[in-house]
Amino acid sequence: MQDLAAPIASVPQAHRAVGGAWLGYLCGLAITSACTAIAFPLYPSVASVNIVMVYLIGTTFGALRLGRGPGVLISVANILAFDFFFVPPRFSFDVEDTQYIFTMAVMLIVALVIANLVVNIRRHRDLADIRERRTSMLYAMSRELAVARDTETMAAAAVRHVCAVFNSTALVLIADERGLLTPTNQAPASRPHNHHSVLDYDPDLAQEVVARGERLISDAVYLPLQGSRRVKGVMVVRPQSDARAGAQALPTDQLQLLDAFAVQLAHSLRRARLAEAAEAARIAAERASLRNTLLASISHDLRTPLSAIAGAGSLIAQPEYALNSDRRTTLGHLIERKARDMSQLLSNILELMQIESNNGAPRTDWHAIEDLVAHSLRANEARLAQRRIVLDVPADLPMVLVEATLIVQILSNLLENAAKYTPPGTTITICAAVREEHVLLTVADDGPGLPPGDPQRLFEKFQRGRAESNIVGVGLGLAICRAAARLHGGDIIAKNAPEGGARFEITLPVETQFDASPPAEPESLQN
Amino acid sequence: MTEAMHVVLIVEDDQAIQNILRMLFEGNGFRVVVAGTAARGEHDARLHRPDIVLVDLGLPDRDGINVIVGIRQWSPVPIIVLSARSAEPQRLAAFEHGADDYVMKPFSAPELLTRVRAIVRRHVRGPLPMGVLELGDVAVDLGRRVVRSGDGREVRLTPLEHRILETLARHGERIVTSAALIKEVWGPDRDDTRALRVYIGSLRKKLEVDPSRPKYILTELGVGYRLVIDPEPSDT
């Protein structure tokens, strides 16, 4: 595979690798001289027919190594040398015996035929070589494109391959619905000595490529990335090796190869676009369904605590009711509790709205799971005072790329639920572990377990485990958990543990495996 | 009681909250000064030299952040933000501009009082001793970069762990934002929160009794870290 990285630019000219064309002809003359030098001492002990053979070997060899032009030169030069050195009278181009004319004519024809055949064979072999290299280069790119999931990654992969294969700088521009082009992230130059890693291109020319849908060549090659209906983008390639000659000098076969690369990329981009559109549709649908259920239930859940607060306030404020201080205290607590419930509901609603309106992009940073778990335990310390907490969070877990507040919110909601729905003395276990590409977070208790019915329904908005329960809080907690988990590309499920009790499992994708042990510090700092 | 001398400045425009806070603090031995606008608040801070300032972020004339910035230009007085804004960027901005704590509305009166008292007490006590930090049974000798646990065992701090701990200690018990911490420890060119998290983790292993439930090096979610020398008993 290593040879793929080598520029292809020199391949079609491989048969001239000996040097310039003139060097080939010089070598041709050298071969003739060599043949003469070999044959000269043999004559006259060896018959002149066999001397001819020596020259024919020279012709065959020369044509094979040097190509057609030098091959013809050798053929002619050999005849002349044979005539001069061996045909009597020797050391003159005169011919005594006319039958030698015939010999030399046959010799010339045979030599030319051999040269031609040999050169044809070579050209076929070279072409086959080039085709094979092209196929494998295209294959290398398409393999990388196949695993890329978004436009940016695909464009970057294509740029990298094109840069390496054509020894050039390249840039992919993506067209929006109106056909306006924007450059994708320019991948860092694949070669360290690449001075202009940022390729400047002619925007007008690129737009013209979009409009016309065909390849244009100026100082660089502008290739259309043809979608199903319109041009989806433009790939700009500027050869680096021969800056003065520029793109105009690119041979046809290289242009064809570039076209093949562009077609391959366009195909992959189309796939990425379809996937992106499907994802956007899914997010939009989820957002819409949330809003509907939310509105339907908010008024009820806000009005109930509000009427309690208003009632309690009016009781306290009436002097003629002459409430004793015990009753005042009770009413005060009631007001506080109801106000808190409402505040909690509002926070939950805001939180959900925010997750949904975030356009699917959490504000992520790297966090240690241990830290997030500790934080959520701390935030719920008072609530959990009468529960036993068991932690199983290994210190060597990989870090996760998450929005910390959301993950803490998930854990807090689960802990809060565990506190609400289990009797004091219950054990709550929090586990974290790596499962393949995921981090699995589990919050389990040994309480009464989940209510009968499909546990996954608990994650729907305004679902509460027991319909007729006076437990405070609104059925948004688990909905938030699910929205937050899914926003991270993970999920959450609920089940009853076989040994009893409720069990919630959160999966979060591990973006990059990261060694949690401290990176080595430079020795110089150690003292 | 010495507490009777403590002056609390409340910069808050809502009449009801003003009244509640006044009742709460006057009933607990503080002298209370109330300012309804940012301008008034900055003026009263210079006039009354409060021991602690409570600032609401949504003030009629200017954002409460301005009050923090104004006071921080000349005074290290502890400032607690009292706000209904819960979004992470706003909390981060408040801490970056020099707030000491951030209390979310609706607040619980007893909890607010506890936090105010703790912050005033720490402030009166002055900056942390930079020689040896006593964290429960564990003593950290910042000069020798050594952690000595209760049973006399000594563990060395790596240079980076030491620099992080020293930076946290230098800020007293104030929150240090992750960005500021990275800048002070690694210099301005690094932006690697992963490395910071790793070293915080290894520091906790050396300092905390239970590193999975830290008591001394606390994470302030989405903001940064804070070193707490004498943690409040959790059941208050």
Query: Above 50 in pLDDT, residue B114?
Result: yes
Write the CATH number for B138. Answer: 1.10.10.10
pLDDT greater than 90 at residue B32: yes
A371–B158 C-beta distance less than 8 A: no
pLDDT reported for residue A299? 67
**Interface A-B: count of C-beta contacts within 8 A:** 70
φ, ψ at A312 (rounded to 5°) = -60, -45
The whole-number average pLDDT for the span A385-411 is 87
Query: What is the pLDDT at residue A429?
Result: 93
Residue A520 burial by Cβ neighbours in a 10 Å radius (0-12, 13-18, 19+): exposed
Residue of B nearest to A386 (CA): B235
pLDDT for residue A247: 63
Whether residues B30 and B120 share a domain: the answer is yes
Residue type for position A327: R
Contact B101, B91 (CB under 8 A): no
- Whether B7 and B113 map to the same domain: the answer is yes
ipTM of the assembly?
A: 0.75
Same domain? For B79 and B108 the reply is: yes
Q: Distance between CA B16 and CA B22 in Å, rounded?
A: 10
pLDDT score for A526: 40
Q: B194 in a domain, yes or no?
A: yes
Element (H, E) at A345: helix A325-357
- Which residue has better confidence, A382 or B233? A382
Q: List CB contacts (< 8 A) between B201 and chain A.
A: 368, 370-371, 395, 516
Q: Provide the pLDDT for residue B41.
A: 94
Q: What is the pLDDT of residues A164-198, one digit of tens each?
A: 887 788 888 888 877 788 887 654 444 444 444 45
Instruction: Give the tens place of pLDDT for each residue, B199-217.
Output: 998 898 888 888 888 888 9
Q: Give the number of other CB atoms < 10 A from CB of residue B95.
A: 23
Q: Check if the beta carbon of residue B147 is closer than 8 Å to that of residue B155.
A: yes
The tens digit of pLDDT for each residue in B45-56 reads 999 999 999 999
What number is the average pLDDT over the span A390-412?
Answer: 87
The answer to whether A346 contacts chain B (CB < 8 Å) is no
Would you say residue A56 has pLDDT above 80? Answer: yes
Note whether residue B158 is domain-resident. Answer: yes
| Residue B236 belongs to some domain of the structure | no
| A340 at interface of B, judged by CB pairs closer than 8 A | yes
**A88: Cβ contacts below 8 Å, ≥ 6 apart:** A96, A97
Query: Same domain for B179 and B119?
Result: no
CATH number where B32 lies: 3.40.50.2300
Residues making up chain A, counted from first to last: 527
Considering the domain architecture, whether residues B49 and B149 belong to the same structural domain is answered as no
- CA distances in angstroms from A67 to A9, A14, A58, A88, listed in the order given: 20, 11, 13, 32
Kindly identify which residue of chain A lies nearest to residue B236, measuring between CA atoms: A382
Which pLDDT score, from 0 to 100, does residue B34 have?
95
Q: Say what the pLDDT of residue B37 is.
A: 93
The residue type of A151 is T
What pLDDT is stored for residue B1 in this prediction?
A: 45
User: What pLDDT, on a 0 to 100 scale, did the predictor assign at position A521?
Assistant: 52
d(CA A132, CA A325): 94
Residue A370 contacts B, CB cutoff 8 Å: yes
B110 and B150 co-located in one domain: no
Q: Taking 70 as the threshold, does the pLDDT of residue A118 lie above it?
A: yes
Q: Which two tokens stand for residue B165?
A: 């701990």
Task: Tell me, yes or no, whether B87 and B145 share the same domain.
Answer: no
User: How far does B221 lie from chain A, in Å, by closest CA?
Assistant: 7
State the residue range of the domain holding B199.
132-227
Using the Cα atoms of residue A313, residue A316, residue A319 and residue A321 in order, give the sign of their dihedral. Answer: positive
Co-location of B114 and B146 in the same domain: no
Confidence of residue B24 (pLDDT cuts 50, 70, 90): very high
What is the distance between the alpha carbons of residues A76 and A90, in angstroms, rounded to a whole number?
18
A340, A352, A364, A366: best to mutate for the B interface, most B CBs within 10 A: A366
Pair B99, B150 in one domain:
no
Residue with tokens 């003395």: A425
Whether A526 sits inside 8 A of B159 (CB atoms) is yes
Maximum average pLDDT range among A229-233, A314-318, B57-61: B57-61
Tell me, yes or no, whether B166 lies in a domain.
yes
Q: How many CB atoms lie within 10 A of CB A297?
A: 17
The per-residue pLDDT for A296 is 62
Is B142 inside any structural domain?
Answer: yes
Residue B221 belongs to a domain: yes
Q: What is the mean pLDDT of residues A317-344?
A: 83
Lowest mean pLDDT among A30-39, A73-82, A463-472: A463-472
- CB within 8 Å: A399 and B205: no
DSSP B218: E
Which pair of tokens denotes residue B46?
Answer: 């210079």
| Tens-digit pLDDT profile for residues B147-177 | 888 787 888 889 889 889 888 888 877 889 8
Number of domains in chain B: 2
Choose from B213, B232, B235 for mutation: most chain A CBs within 10 A. Answer: B213
User: What span, in angstroms and rounded, lies between the C-alpha atoms of B26 and B11?
Assistant: 16
Contact A480, A348 (CB under 8 A): yes
For residues B37 and B136, membership in a common domain is answered with no
Count of other CB atoms within 10 angstroms of residue A360? 17
User: Are B223 and B92 within 8 A, CB to CB?
Assistant: yes
What value does the mean pLDDT take over residues A411-435? 90
Q: Do A444 and A455 meet the contact criterion of CB atoms below 8 Å apart?
A: no
Residue of A105, A73, A101, A77 lying closest to A87 (CA atoms): A101
Query: Taking the model in full, what pTM does it have?
Result: 0.55
Average pLDDT over residues B108-132: 82
Top-confidence range, A480-484, B49-53, B85-89, B128-132 = B49-53
Supply the pLDDT for residue B129.
Answer: 67
One-letter amino acid at A365 equals D
**Domain C-terminal end among B125, B141, B167:** B125
Residues near B72 by beta carbon (within 8 Å), at least 6 away in sequence: B79, B97, B98
Report CA torsion sign: A170, A176, A180, A184.
negative
Domains of chain A listed by start with CATH number: 2-140 (no CATH), 147-275 (3.30.450.40), 290-357 (1.10.287), 365-509 (3.30.565.10)
pLDDT above 70 covers what percent of chain B?
A: 93
pLDDT band for position A254 (cuts 50, 70, 90): confident
pLDDT of res. A358: 61
Inter-chain touch B158–A347, beta carbons under 8 Å: no
pLDDT band at A525, cuts 50/70/90? very low
Domain boundary among B90, B109, B125: B125
Sign of CA dihedral B79, B80, B86, B92: positive
Q: Are residues B105 and B137 in the same domain?
A: no
* Alpha carbon of A328: minimum distance to chain B alpha carbons (Å): 17
Nearest to A36 by CA among A97, A109, A91: A91
Section A301-309 average pLDDT = 81
A410 chain-B contacts, CB cut-off 8 A: none
B139 has a pLDDT exceeding 70: yes
Mean pLDDT in residue range A310-337: 84
> CA-CA distance, B22 to A334, in Å (whole number)?
22
Of B82, B108, B125, which residue sits at a domain end?
B125
DSSP per-residue letters across A241-308: TTTTTGGGG--HHHHHHHHHHHHHHHHHHHHHHHHHHHHHHHHHHHHHHHHHHHHHHHHHHHHHHHHH
Task: Report the Cα B216 to chain-centroid distance in Å.
Answer: 13
**B17 occurs within a structural domain:** yes
What's the whole-number mean pLDDT along residues B32-51?
93
Q: Is the domain of B137 the same as that of B196? A: yes
